[in-house]
Structure 1
Amino acid sequence: MKNDKIALLPQGYDDLLKDLKARVHKARMSAALAANAELVSLYIDIGKAILERRDAEGWGTKIIERLGNDLRVAFPGIKGFSPRNFRYMRQLAQICAETPILQQVVAKLPWGHTITLVEKLKADNERLWYGLQAIEHGWSRAVLQIQIETGLHERQTQLPKVSNFKKRLPEAQSEMALEVLKDPYIFDFFSVGEKAHERDIERGLVRHITEFLLELGSGFSYVGKQVHLEVAGEDFYLDLLFYHLKLRCYVVIELKAGAFKPEYAGKLNFYCSAVDDMLRHENDNPTIGLLLCKEKNGLLAEYALRDMNKALAVSDYKLTRAIPENLKPSLPTVEDIERELHQEN
């Protein structure tokens, strides 16, 4: 009987159902965002009111605590009227008064994210940058904390980067590639000794590929390690191979346990040429190479890259402590990251 009913469904029913599901999902998301924006606006208004009374009438901590208690009694179903939260409301009200655009950003973030921006950062330009990144990439609060603690803003936007991207890539792709690049990379999720060999580091990275993708940044899709290529009857193995979904190209990553040497650039250039010939699809952009070294001399690296015909970059990496256990469950899985990236594209 059930199959008979399905057979009687009119043409176009499945398309309509799919469309309505999408509309319901969009409406629920819009309602959640609107509710969050209203809540943040309320908290900022409360913060402003407390600041005004404190400055004009000298309200102290005990009066503010009493205010919170009375509000909790009046609205038992609403959380957030604790003395600690009142302190964040005051701080946020003051910050948004000095940098009004921040209110538009935090209105799109959960309150816990906003507390992290207020608590962990001192400069409003950094709060704005991390807030926008959290919105764009859908970071959880734990991931936001990790990115702040490892200094992502400085590593991705402020420190000079050694590459030949501007000479070897079209302007738009060069700018995007430079935005993707970090220096140094912080591998903060596995424990190996300071004298670890390249293969030990590589195994550690692949064993924790989720966190490695997180550190590489949005857009990287893992292809494989020790990827075999045969050229002129000889065997070669790429340390790590990725595909970048926004740059639309393969990215070859070579790991070096010691300091940068000029000959590394020539080998990576060769690998990129081989990938272009053997793996690259006709619609893909040219392959990019990234050398990750324990340390580098910037001038030496610049000279080595100057006349290479492939787009190459050199970055340092640091091996530090493991991520705390309580933060690990909040990290996305490889499948989560790749699913999100495919949806973005």
Structure 2
Amino acid sequence: MELKKELIHQIQSIIASARERAIRSVDTERVLMYWQIGKVIFEEEQDGKERAGYGDFLIKSLSSSLQPQFGSGFSYRQLNWYRKFYRTFPIVSAVRTQFSWTHFKTLLSIDNANKREFYIAEAAKNNWTARQLERQVNSQLFERLLMSNDVQAVLAVAREEKLPSDAKEIIKDPMVLEFLGLRREAAYYEKDLKAAIITHLQDFLLEIGNGFSFVARQKRIHIEGDEFSIDLVFFNRLLQCFVLMEIKTSKITHQDIGQLQMYVNYYDRFEKQDFENPTIGILLCADKNDAVVKITLPENNKSIVASKYQLYLPTEQQLIAAVQKEIEKLDQQENRDTE
């Protein structure tokens, strides 16, 4: 007599789920323990704040007492983390139970309150793992979104206080594709880039923005006997529209923009349902001339977005320079408008 495979799988699933819940429960208790330790340290430190250097003395003394018994989790450095944890999240209800201590260490490394609030909202909303959160912080997601939005708009979308009404509110420029494993020094073709994106589709969906689901690759369309192929087709549940993507490993031209506009028009006329919003096109390119993009498209354009990609994580200096450049452009535009 043999056991049914379905029965074995059912019990295996129960065991796996129970173990996962147990691990999450232990991690939640650990996070709360660190918060409580931080609270005790902070309150004691405030009581002795009149004494010079008391805070440093307090943590060193606690570490000397606790580390021999409880291990490296109570080193001088770790106890400082716990104090910072409480100072950053002084209300226990603000401590998200779905976050691990690794999540919180990444969040605690962010000094800017708006920036930290953005990552808290995005991580909770998208159920990011600690590794995904760390990558988004390292790839400067917040700063990239600020290049075409203001802080309050970025925070409002992250908190789900408003739905995005413009593709630029969720689509980054540049997109950082270091996870594809393509070296920037190496020569590669468009087909290599497209194949790498499909191989790493889950990571790519996380990078291009919130609410994207994959629909098709190399989608063929026929127009009066002529056949065309759209590189990638997505649907975005937040924008409630199709999103078409063309990939170029060179600097985009006005012909590339015209081709994508044709695809967008086709989808709007033959694929889009009446209750869906107008189709959006993304040109993902190695380089672009913003002035050419702007002149090629209508002034009120909201259907085509050109976004550069890079195959490495940007340095902080690169992002600061890029954000400053964008601010200067906006200032120049405002000055022209007021003249």
Q: TM-score, normalised by structure 1?
A: 0.69
Question: Are residue 56 (structure 1) and residue 45 (structure 2) matched?
Answer: no
Shift, 1:135, TM fit: 1.2
Counterpart in the other structure of 1:204 = 196
Cα contact 1:47–1:92 (8 A) shared by 2: no
Shift, 1:273, TM fit: 1.7
Q: Against the structure 1 CA distance between its residues 46 and 110, is the aligned structure 2 distance closer, same or farther, given a 3 Å change threshold? A: farther
Q: Against the structure 1 CA distance between its residues 45 and 200, is the aligned structure 2 distance closer, same or farther, given a 3 Å change threshold? A: same
Alpha-carbon distance between aligned partners in 2 of 1:40 and 1:178, rounded to the nearest angstrom:
39
Alpha-carbon distance between aligned partners in 2 of 1:225 and 1:44, rounded to the nearest angstrom:
51
Amino acid at match of 2:101: W
Cα contact 2:164–2:170 (8 A) shared by 1: no
Cα contact 1:41–1:107 (8 A) shared by 2: no
Alpha-carbon distance between aligned partners in 2 of 1:105 and 1:316, rounded to the nearest angstrom:
37
- Select the residue among 235, 257, 278 that pairs with 1:286: 278
- Select the residue among 232, 253, 256 that pairs with 1:240: 232
- Select the residue among 32, 40, 43 that pairs with 1:46: 40
Counterpart in the other structure of 1:301 = 293
Shift, 1:309, TM fit: 7.0
* Root mean square deviation, CA, Å: 3.5
Number of residue pairs aligned between Structure 1 and Structure 2: 278
Counterpart in the other structure of 2:117 = 128
- Select the residue among 45, 67, 72 that pairs with 2:62: 67
Amino acid at match of 1:177: A
Q: Against the structure 1 CA distance between its residues 307 and 173, is the aligned structure 2 distance closer, same or farther, given a 3 Å change threshold? A: farther
Cα contact 2:243–2:279 (8 A) shared by 1: yes
Counterpart in the other structure of 2:177 = 187
Question: Are residue 159 (structure 1) and residue 152 (structure 2) matched?
Answer: no
Cα contact 1:50–1:90 (8 A) shared by 2: no
Cα displacement string for residues 78-109 of structure 1 (whole angstroms, at most 9, x for unaligned residues):
9954433211022234445xxx68x7544443
Amino acid at match of 1:87: N
Counterpart in the other structure of 1:85 = 78
SS of the aligned residue for 1:175 comes to: coil
Shift, 1:284, TM fit: 2.4
Cα displacement string for residues 17-45 of structure 1 (whole angstroms, at most 9, x for unaligned residues):
xxxxxxxxxxx9xx999968854641441
Q: Which runs of 5+ in 2 are unaligned?
A: 1-21, 150-161, 314-339
Counterpart in the other structure of 1:118 = 108
Shift, 1:249, TM fit: 1.4
Amino acid at match of 2:245: I
Shift, 1:238, TM fit: 0.2
SS of the aligned residue for 2:276 comes to: coil
Shift, 1:193, TM fit: 4.5
Shift, 1:60, TM fit: 6.6
Over the matched positions of the two proteins, sequence identity in percent amounts to 28
Counterpart in the other structure of 1:177 = 167
Q: TM-score, normalised by structure 2?
A: 0.70
Counterpart in the other structure of 2:209 = 217
Q: Which runs of 5+ in 1 are unaligned?
A: 1-27, 162-171, 322-345
Cα contact 1:47–1:93 (8 A) shared by 2: no
Q: Against the structure 1 CA distance between its residues 318 and 140, is the aligned structure 2 distance closer, same or farther, given a 3 Å change threshold? A: same
Cα contact 1:155–1:183 (8 A) shared by 2: yes
Amino acid at match of 1:132: A
Cα displacement string for residues 298-322 of structure 1 (whole angstroms, at most 9, x for unaligned residues):
222111222687711111111227x
Q: Against the structure 1 CA distance between its residues 262 and 123, is the aligned structure 2 distance closer, same or farther, given a 3 Å change threshold? A: same
